[in-house]
């Protein structure tokens, strides 16, 4: 097995969301700590890390609104496994506001984290292996077919590529891809999305997603 690839001092963006590999996430950036970080990442063509919050909020708040962290602000905590994000669209519609669209790349695990004085988190991370391609089995084909029908209905509305919530190519025969897209589309608790993203077995992830679809009454 090849040695795991490390990244040092990766800037992190803790969010109340989970980014899956191959997924799309639009963001509005207005906090000073992230405006500078995103600007530098865009200029350098470098990724940043998205991690899901387990405590605190996306916007930095005074200590009185949450557990103190020792620097006058409420405590922030986040999951140890996140996803690298690459910026694919970038604009500054007005001073102090950036609008970006980013794509999920490889998953990573945080091995060391540090909060800088202005509130930005950086971390040393180890990249996790990508999902291995696994053909969708016959007993889960209905889950893939339902996603295909949803994609077709979106295309029939003549949405532009930027308006589509899923990125082409549509790999409807791949367990990991189908599972990840359903995880993004289905309303489910953040903690559950995080657990599904962290699963190393794409077939198991798709089986669990299929069970969720059954329980929510979504017709396959």
CATH number at residue 178: 1.10.4060.10
The torsion angles phi and psi of 19, rounded to 5 degrees, stand at -95, 125
Comparing CA positions, the residue from 128, 133, 129 lying closest to residue 177 is 133
Same domain, 15 and 120: yes
Per-chain mean pLDDT for the chain: 90
Same domain, 16 and 115: yes
DSSP 80: S
pLDDT tens digits, 51-106: 999 998 767 666 665 555 556 667 889 999 999 999 999 999 999 999 999 999 99
pLDDT tens digits, 101-158: 999 999 999 999 999 988 899 999 999 999 999 999 999 999 999 999 999 998 888 8
**Which of 104, 127, 150 is the endpoint of a domain?**
127
What integer pLDDT is reported at residue 69 of this predicted model?
Answer: 54
From residue 71, give the alpha-carbon distance in Å to each of 77, 117, 121: 14, 8, 14
Same domain, 110 and 166: no
Q: What is the CATH number of the domain that holds 108?
A: 2.30.130.40
Q: Which run of H or of E encompasses 14?
A: strand 6-15
pTM for this model (two decimals):
0.89
């Amino acid at each position: 097995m090849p040695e795991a690839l490390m990244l040092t001092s990766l800037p992190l963006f803790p969010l109340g969301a989970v980014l899956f590999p191959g997924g799309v996430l639009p963001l509005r950036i207005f906090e000073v700590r992230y405006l500078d970080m995103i600007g530098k990442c865009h200029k350098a063509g470098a990724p940043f890390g998205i991690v899901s919050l387990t405590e605190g909020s996306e916007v930095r708040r005074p200590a009185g609104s949450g557990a103190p962290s020792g620097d006058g602000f409420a405590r922030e905590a986040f999951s140890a496994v996140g996803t690298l994000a690459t910026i694919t669209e970038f604009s500054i519609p007005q001073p102090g506001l950036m609008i970006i669209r980013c794509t999920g790349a490889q998953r990573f695990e945080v091995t060391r984290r540090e909060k800088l004085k202005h509130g930005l988190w950086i971390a040393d991370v180890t990249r996790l292996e990508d999902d291995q391609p696994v053909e969708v089995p016959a007993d889960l084909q209905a889950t893939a077919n339902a996603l295909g029908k949803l994609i077709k209905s979106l295309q029939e509305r003549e949405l532009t590529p930027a308006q589509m919530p899923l990125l082409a190519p549509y790999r409807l025969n791949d367990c990991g891809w189908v599972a990840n897209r359903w995880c993004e589309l289905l309303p489910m608790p953040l903690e559950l999305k995080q657990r599904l993203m962290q699963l190393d077995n794409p077939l198991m992830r798709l089986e669990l997603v299929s069970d969720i679809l059954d329980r929510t009454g979504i017709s396959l």
